[in-house]
Each structure stands twice: as structure tokens, then as C-alpha cells.
Amino acid sequence: MHTVDYSFLQALWFILIAVLWIGFFVLEGFDFGVGMLLRHVGHTDSDRRAILHAIGPVWDGNEVWLLTAGGATFAAFPLWYASMFSGFYLALFLVLVALIIRGVSFEFWGKDDRPRWRATWEWTMVIGSFLASLLFGVAWANIVKGVPINAQQNFTGSLFTLLNPYALLGGVTLVLLFLSHGAIYLNMKTAGDLPERARGVARWASPAAAVAGIAFLVWTVINMTDRTGASLAVAIVGAITAVLLATAAVSELVRRPGIAFGISTAAIAMLFVTLFVDLFPNVMPSSTSARFDLTIANTSSSSTTLTIMAIVAAVMVPIVLAYTAWTYWVFRKRISPEDFDLTTKNPFDLVGSGGSGAGPDAGGAPAG
Amino acid sequence: MTALDLARLQFATTTIFHFLFVPLSIGLAFYVAVNQTLHYRTGKEVYARQVQFWGRLMLLSFAVGVVTGIIQEFQFGMNWSEYSRFVGDIFGAPLAMEALIAFFLESTFLGFWIFAKGRVSPRTHLTSIWLVSVGSILSAFFIIAANSWMQHPVGYKLVRGKPQLDNIWAVITNNTAIAAYIHVIMAAALTVSLVTIGVAAHHLRREHQVDTFTTAIKVALPILVVGAIGSFFAGDQLARLLVKQQPMKMSAAEALFDSEAPAAFSVFATGDFTANPGHTNRNLKIPHALSLLATRTWDGKVLGINQLQEQYVAKYGPGNYVPYVAVVYWSFRIMVYLFGAMALFALVGLILWRRGRLATSRRFQLIAIWMAITPFIVNTAGWVMTEVGRQPWIVQGLMLTKNANSPLVSTAQVAGTLIGFTLIFTVLGGVALWLFLREARKGIHDAPLTPDGADVPDLTLSY
């Protein structure tokens, strides 16, 4: 078919996958951050329940961005998917472990009120959230930097290849960014003592994230093999990111939590925009030889598959965004530990949801 | 064991564990939605209590199902990179569609359903549980379409030896996919109805909350009957497709080593203890039954394993094209025999309902409790037959399993992650089962749902 169309489709899918990853990081980023802060910001069971409820309705949907990014990579760039997932084998195993222990803690935590039970599922939440953040940072730094890949497109390194200083800085950056992002989210979404404690975290985490993030950006630019034009683009988006990070660092001073959260979101998004601009048109450069670089051209599906999936995405993404936005709107209220003080004694009694108000007031718009 | 063996074992372990929860979650979402609809329509409190009680169990099932589902998507790339490279042009599309069309819907509205009660109108809240149900039922379709393509590849053309998508519609409407999908959804119906009836029977035996749990059975029995009839016809359809598309699997499932016309259905057979014994030692048979099942004729010929092996060698070159016969044979037997027990149980349930003895028949209740375990065995057996029966192929006729695993992932790595996953599943499965049984035994909450008549923001305080 038309080769121009084909390379356009490949570029389009690169952008779409970038969007999915960015969506994942800005959304799940705050619930990773909140997860890490569960015990630090929440002191009592009521506090912790309020914190879990601040992300409870949305975390699972947030995680679907990751599944979609994975599925889209498989569909659009199967050779990239195959090399990346088999190459990052043990790292991804640890990611899976982290996501599993953290995912079930939402469900298990409230099922019993013995202190040891609660503590167990709090720690799985904290550790799982931390480990996932760290590993995603390490993984993406490695993807951008390049890893040993042979002529058969197979990764020839080990887990320790991935643990290089640049990648570790990427991991630390993401942990700090998500801590700050989560703290800013809690400041916006909770009531009582929690926002003040969350701001206390943001006061150190945001500047630390800015320092690490800017160092990471500088290193990223230094690492770049010279590609005129691309270097300039990376320098520009990198500079915007740096400004945003610096702004986020002091945004705790802004007394408008929503604005602070917006800046934090933009900073995380721009950091990944920088990485993706740097990456393009590669998807995973080879540190062994530039000839073995994985690119959008040598890893993609056929133009038929890319076209069909583009149509599916064009129809579905707006619908998904619409109902996701709507649910965030429904859950816009702040959540206070005081809401739970009475009921924490017997959490089992009030679970599920009976739809008990049915009948008389049926119909009508969301009450909000 | 080689890295390949371990990768296969890992796939079996993670998929079987995941699929213990999948049909239960699909079924419970539907069951809760039905009860919530009944409550919305009639205003009867008994249905609201069902929603509350079964909803809790549903969330437990979803929690484990969702987290173990992530592994499924990752492990194609992790352990099966050559497979992913080979089939990616076709196989990735349904996975991406599943995420975009089904997972977002299911996850977003599950969270919404849990937490939005009292913040939105009852109708909106009811809609949200239906969206969860629809999302979960849809997600099964895409994954079954992907799996069915491995059983019966369609809609592709070979370009430089690799399958390339030619017709997505053919992939979506693959006859194997349609039959297998209905089969799986009906299995979910069987699973949820038998589990709910079993839990309800446990309480009825103790004369505990008799009205509520009798109602639970009355909502579940029609689902059981539909599930039994539906999975019978879908399974029958699938068997006839097998004869055409994967004859080796069908013959292995029957331990039919040499072609027969008319062909008999094997009831109980033994053979030497090897992968392919070549003949049966003892074989109790029903004459003509396999001909009827496979060809819809009284005397139809069904090819035997030995003849098919010769055909495959002629077609694909030297090699062993016979799966582990005993595994396929016995997984098929377990599925069919236990299904027979389910169908019989459904019939007895209907008769007792007619006679108004559901709440009083002690024997029915005792059997019901044990029947609650059977769907999990049947579901597992069904997948074991499907996947083991396809061997040595990973994609029928196109790619051998031995060529599909990740070439540079070492034995130690696969062994390590296998041990890791097994440990996690043991703990997770143990905790989930313990919580499930504890919640199930507790019964339905008795206190008024809405103290002071106010719609309490019952923010699902199991969270």
C-alpha cells in the first residue's frame, strides 16, 4: 500500500502509546503516591480508611491505562512488546508482584480489624506502590537510554544491566514525583487533619522531585546521540518540564490545591513527553549497535492492523475519557476521617450497597 | 526441566488460578445486577439484602481476578516472545480491544458502583452494576476470540512465513470463537448459580435466614437451568467443530487410537502410563455415540490418533503430533461427567421448587453445598482439555509450542518466577478462600439497611 500512510500510522501509534503511558503515569501516579503515604499521612484507622477512599473509586480504572498501553503495544508494535517484556523479565515480574500485593490490599484491608491484619495490608500497599513506581522509572530510563539488544531483537543483558546509575536516578525521580503528586492529591481530596499532613510531605517531596527530575533531564540531554532537530526538540520540552517541576516544587505555597495538582500533573506528563520525543522514532535503542535499534518501522504491525486499531481507538478513547471524567466529577468531594469514626467498629455491617433508596426517587440526574 | 517446560507450567499455573475467579466474577456481577434490578423494580428489601451480601463476595472475587489478570497480558511477552513476534499482527488486536472496550468499562464502573451509592440516583447506581456486568461479559469475548484464533486460525494471510491480519471480521466471527464464547459464558452461569445455591443451602440447613436464602436459590435456579442447557448445546457445537478443526484433540479426548466407523464413545478407558500409549488396555464404550456426537450420523467415521499422526507427518513433516492422551481424555471425562451431575442437580432443584420443598429438603441442601465446588473443577478441566489437546501446536497448524518461548530467558529465571507466582497464589488463594467462606457463613446482614430511614452513605466499609 502507500508507504507514506504506513509510516504515518506507525507514528500515530507511537503517539497513542505515549499518550496511554502518560495517562497511566499522571493517574496511577497519584494513587501510587497516596499508597506510599498511607501510613505516613494516616495515623488512625479512620485516617487510613479516608485515604483509601480518596483513591478507592478510581485506582482500578487508572491501572487499566497500563493494561491498555501493554495491549496497544502488543497490537501495534508486537516486536517491541516481545523484546521489551522478555528483556525486562525479572523487573516486570517484580512489577507484577508489586501490583498484585497492592491491588489486593484495597480489598483485604477492611475485611478484618485486628491491628496485625491491618498493618500487613498497609505495608503491602506502601511497598507495592513504592516498588512499582521505582521499577517503572528504572524501566523507562533504560528504554530511553538503550539496552543491549542483538540482531534477533533479543535483550542480552540481565537485571543488573538495568540497574545503572542513570536508570536508578530515573527510578528515584519517579518515586519522588509520585510521592509529591500523591501528597498534593491528598491535600486536594481529604479533610480534617489529613491535608495539613499531606502538605507537610509535599513541602519536602516536591522540591526533592524537582531536583531529581531536573538532574535526570540534564543527564537525558547529555546522553542523546546527536540528532539535530531531535536534540533541539528534546531541549525545548525538557526546559518546559524543568520549569514545571520547579513550579510544582513551590506550588504547595499556592493556596489552591486544584492548581497545585494541575501543575504536578503537567510536570509528570511533560517529563514523559520529553522521554518520548527523545525516543522517537526508536522504540528501544540497542546499546550493542545502532543497527539493532528497535524502531517504529522494524517492530510494527501491518498497516491493516494499525488502521483497524486506529479506528477502534478513535471511537473508544473519547468514550472512555468521557465516562472517566464523569466519575471523577461524581467523586469530587473531599473525604474526611470523621465520616468513618462511627462505623469503623464493625466494617462488615455496612458493606456492599443495597440500592436501598430505590423506587420513589428513581431517575433524575446524579445527585453529586 | 527446560525453560520451555517451566514456561508452559507457569502459563498453566497462572491461567488456571486466574480462571478460578473469572467465571465467578462474571457470574456474580450478573447475579448482583439481577438482584439490584429486582429490588429497583419491586422495592422489596429481600433483594437489597441479596445485593449487599453477594456484592461483597463479588468484590472479593474481582479483586483477585483483576490482579492475576495483569499477569496474563504480560506473560505473552515475558515467556513467549517468539510467539508474540509470530502472531502479534493478529493476536494483539483483540487484547487491546479488550482493554479499551471492556476493562475500562468494568473497572471504572466497579469502583463507581462501590463508592457512588447515595451520591447518584438509584437508577444511575443500578446502571453502573449493569455496566460492570456488560464489561466483564464483553471482556470474555475478546480473550476467547484471541484464544480461538490459536485453536482455529482464520482471517489471515501468510507473509514471509508469518500470519498477517487479512480480515478482522473473520477473526471476530470465527465459528470456534462464537461457540467457545457461549460455552464460557454459560460456564459462568453454572458457576455463579451453583456457588450461590451452595452458600444458600449452607444457611438453610441451619434454618438460618430461611426466606432470604430461599429467595437466593429462586433467583439462581433459572440461571443454573439456562447455564446447563446453554453449555450443553455450545459444548456439542464445539465438539463438532473440533472434529473438523482439531481432530487430534477430539480423538485424544476419546482415546480413539484407531479410526472407527461407526465410532463408539468411551466411558472409561485405561492405557499404559506414557504420553501416547498407542492403544487402550481396557475400554468401556457406548456404540455409535461418538459418531452421533462428532458427525451427527449413526455410522459416521471418526479418525483415530494413529491415523491422524500419519496424516500430520505427511502434511507437516516428521514429528510427534499427539498430545498427552490421558490428560486430554480424563479432563474431558471430568468435564462431561461433572456436567451431567450439574444438569441432574438442576432438574432436581426445579422439581423441589415446584413442590415447594427447596427450603426443607435436607438431602438437596447437603448435595448443593458439595455441588458448589464442581464448577471450579469443570472450568479447569475444560481449559486443560482445550490447551493440552492442542499440543504440540501453540497455534494449530502454524506454530509449534517448542518454537514459541523466549529464547534468552533462562531456565533459572522462569523457575524463579514460577516459584514466586506459586507462593503468591498460595497465599492469595488461601486468604481469598478464607475471607470468602467467612463472609459467606456470616449470612445476610439483619439490621435495617437504612437506620432512621435515611439513605446512609454506606461507603462500603469493607474498604
Q: Which residues, listed in sequence order, are joined to residue B271 by a DSSP beta bridge?
A: B280
Amino acid in position B399: M
How far apart are the C-alpha atoms of B456 and B39, rounded to whole Å? Answer: 17
- Cis bond before residue B94 (omega within 30° of 0): no
B38 neighbors B71 (Cβ within 8 angstroms) = no
Residue A341 lies in a domain: no
Considering only CB atoms, which chain A residues are within 8 Å of B425? none
Q: What are phi and psi of A148, to 5 degrees?
A: -65, 115
How far is A367 from A330, CA to CA, in rounded Å? Answer: 8
Q: Answer yes or no: do A317 and B100 touch at CB < 8 A.
A: yes
Quote the domain boundaries for residue A173: 3-332
User: Cβ of A219 under 8 Å from any chain B Cβ?
Assistant: no
Buried b (16+ CB within 10 A) or exposed e, B267-294: eebebeeeebbeebeebebeebbbbbbb
Residues of B in contact with A76 (CB under 8 A): 92, 96
In a domain, A339, yes or no: no
Q: For residue range A41-62, what is the model confidence (pLDDT) as tens digits?
A: 999 999 999 999 999 999 999 9
Cross-strand partners of B280: B271
Within a domain: A344: no
Nearest alpha-carbon partner for B184 in B120, B231, B117: B231
- Smallest Cβ distance to A358: which of B39, B79, B81? B39
CB within 8 Å: A78 and B165: no
A118 touches chain B (CB under 8 A): no
Tens-binned pLDDT, residue by residue, of chain A (368 aa): 445 588 899 999 999 999 999 999 999 999 999 999 999 999 999 999 999 999 999 999 999 999 999 999 999 999 999 999 999 999 999 999 999 999 999 999 988 889 999 999 999 999 999 999 999 999 999 999 999 999 999 999 888 899 999 999 999 999 999 999 999 999 999 999 999 999 999 989 999 999 999 999 989 888 877 666 677 778 888 888 888 888 877 766 667 888 889 989 999 999 999 999 989 899 999 889 889 999 999 999 999 999 999 999 999 999 999 999 999 999 988 888 887 765 443 333 444 333 333 333 333 333 32
Question: For residue A345, is it within any domain?
Answer: no
- Give residue A249's pLDDT: 74
Interface probe with B: pick from A107, A300, A326, A346, most Cβ of B within 10 Å: A107
Distance from C-alpha of B404 to C-alpha of B3, rounded to nearest angstrom? 11
Residue A68 belongs to a domain? yes
Give the distance, in angstroms, between the CA of residue B24 and the centroid of all CA atoms in the same chain: 9
CA distances from B155 to B86, B144, B170 (A): 15, 16, 5
pLDDT tens per residue across span A121-168 = 999 999 999 999 999 999 999 999 999 999 999 999 888 899 999 999
Is some CB atom of chain B closer than 8 A to the CB atom of A345? no
Which grid coordinates belong to B13?
499455573
The set of cell numbers assigned to B202 is 449452607
Which DSSP symbol is given to A147?
Answer: B
DSSP β-bridge partners for residue B273: none
Would you call B257 helix, strand, or coil by DSSP?
coil
- Does residue A12 belong to any structural domain of this protein? yes
Chain A contact set for B54 (CB, 8 A): 352
Q: Give the total residue count for chain A.
A: 368
pLDDT, tens digit, for every residue of B396-447? 999 999 999 999 999 999 999 999 999 999 999 999 999 999 988 887 765 5
CA distance A151 to chain B (A): 13
What percentage of chain B reaches a pLDDT higher than 90? 83
Q: Do the domain assignments include residue A284? A: yes
pLDDT tens digits, one per residue of B209-254: 888 899 999 999 999 999 999 999 999 999 999 999 999 999 999 9
Q: How many domains does chain A have?
A: 1
How far, in Å, CA of A301 to CA of A323, rounded?
A: 30
Amino acid identity of residue B438, one-letter, is R
Measure the CA–CA gap between B301 and B303, rounded to whole angstroms.
7
| B196-232 residues labelled b (16+ CB within 10 A) or e (exposed) | bbbbbbbbbeeeebeebbbbbbebbbebbbebbebbb
Contact assignment for A60 to B66 by CB distance below 8 Å: yes
CA distances from B375 to B62, B193, B349 (A): 17, 10, 17
Classify residue A32: in a domain, yes or no.
yes
Is B420 in contact with A317 (Cβ distance < 8 A)?
A: no
What percent of chain B lies above the pLDDT cut of 70?
Answer: 96
Number of CB pairs, chain A paired with chain B, less than 8 A apart: 331
Crossing angle for the helix pair A78-87 and B45-79, nearest 10 degrees? 90
Choose among A66, A92, A301: nearest Cβ to B78: A92
